Structure 1
Amino acid sequence: MVMINGDKIKGNSQRFQTFFTKGLKCACCGIEGKYFGKEKDFESKRYHLNLYAIDESGNEVLMTKDHIVPRSKGGASELYNYQTMCAKCNVAKGNN
């Protein structure tokens, strides 16, 4: 856990491990995450950090942890099977 402005935030998630070991660029389109935003989950009331990129129109784009081989196709939930991907590309990739 890390403390940011008095709020506890999990700092060792697989998502963060993916960003720090695989990089901040989308594996598909190449957009690069530029900053983390501290956000609060409505249900759990816990804070977390989301990584955002800025697209060519100046809009925020959420960066995600993608399964290279989808879990539904036998892919593992392990670091070797993760890649950084923007939300737009992740949605477009779907279950492929």
Structure 2
Amino acid sequence: MRHVLVLNASYEPLNITTWRRAMVMLLKGKAEGLEHDLGRPIRPDHHLPTVIRLRQFVRVPYKQLPLTRRNVFHRDGHSCQYCGFQGEQLSIDHVLPRSRGGGDSWENVTTACLRCNVRKGNRTPREAGMPLAREPRRPISSLYFEATRQIRAGTHQEWAKYVIGA
């Protein structure tokens, strides 16, 4: 099933929908097509959309993404931020250890394999001589996760210019 990135009238990503729903919005005049899959014509003059933009601005309330183990792993690409290991033996590491005043926040937790987590111990990455691959940051939204996954997989490279940080 092909997915379509839906942008607000301000070009801000809103959600990801199916190509059928996107076609309905295009045919009803509620959206305009910005990017199309030229390899998949529906009719000689119509191609499947991959990015559409709503004609009218939709106000969406902001909802923060909760700090959960699953979301931290997803943000970090399910890989250790110290050595790059990808596998089942992953854990959550506090950049500034809790015993030294570090709390549970997006900016202080990262994904680490068990080996690196034990090696780092009760130290900061600088003290342990273990630099982080990426500085931990608060993700923008769950839509950001899905969109960047699609972009990295190579299925929707054209989404990159609409998703900040992808």
Q: Normalising by structure 1, what TM-score?
A: 0.55
User: What is the match of residue 68 of structure 1?
Assistant: 95
For 1:10-67, what per-residue CA distance to the aligned partner results, in whole angstroms no more than 9, with x for missing partners?
xx7721111011221111111113xxxxxxxxxxxxxxxxxx0xxxxxxxxx100110
Candidates 87, 93, 111, aligned match of 1:84: 111
- For residues 84 and 76 of structure 2, what CA distance do their matches in structure 1 show? 13
Q: CA RMSD in A?
A: 1.6
Secondary structure of 1:77 counterpart: coil
Unaligned segments of structure 2, at least 5 residues:
1-65, 124-166
Taking only the aligned residue pairs, the percentage that are identical comes to: 40
User: What is the match of residue 120 of structure 2?
Assistant: 93
Unaligned segments of structure 1, at least 5 residues:
1-11, 34-51, 53-61
Q: Which of structures 1 and 2 has the larger relative contact order (alpha carbons within 8 angstroms, sep 6+)?
A: 1
How many residue pairs match? The answer is: 58
Q: Normalising by structure 2, what TM-score?
A: 0.33
User: What is the match of residue 25 of structure 1?
Assistant: 79
User: What is the match of residue 16 of structure 1?
Assistant: 70
- For residues 68 and 96 of structure 2, what CA distance do their matches in structure 1 show? 16
